[in-house]
Structure 1
């Protein structure tokens, strides 16, 4: 009975470990992508120029209920770009000035620069990576505990 229980724990541990590694790898891709974006991006001064699309959180303020802001900025090369600021722009009204972070190689990839931007961009992948790591640690702990019990019995 002890042998079959140990084999059962080992096979489940292997399956859980594989799923955890896959979760960590899938989380690493967007984390790396966003880290590269932040490292290579440029800052520009932008201005709210209009109200944008309706947001699902229905944030109210001085704008129509739950809308984002359309933001305009000029790149270092002199190109004028407009983009919808999404939920990060829900408190920006036309005429407001805001800091913008953009990719100089793809100026359509722009966003409102804000505190903790890296965390905002990666909190979901970081959560998956943390869950994967927790699963790996749980498997390692279970495996170690099982080995200690087997050696104590023998």
Structure 2
């Protein structure tokens, strides 16, 4: 087999070319990856009144990946009357965006909850846009067909969840 004299690479040049191509490919893959957004604050607290189910504080923990966002809710406003299995709680968290309109985060994911323990639910999923400023107004929790509807009785602290 005859070599083409015009195209000849020495071993160091081939290694350099391979490294350059690899770096370019890695940069291209990074450029195509969806950007993870940042939500601030990541954790907020709020108080809920759940009528006959009770009242108390709740912790909201938010995360964002582009336009997809999740919020996990843990609240002492509702306690499990019996053991609740994982994935048995259907929840809807309603928030306002800049004080107007309604944005809902929904889901049926929860850890196992022992009888007498505070209810934890999530991640609840929703869609956000850059600049959304969300503050919880209500929480609906359905367990074994029984619905507890909670209304926010305080402002979120330290403030609304602002998405990037």
Query: What TM-score range do you get, normalising by the shorter chain?
Result: 0.3 to 0.5
TM-score, normalization by structure 2: 0.32
More strand by share: 2
TM superposition score normalised by structure 1: 0.34
Higher relative contact order (CA 8 A, sep 6+): 1
Considering fraction of residues, name the structure with more helix: 1
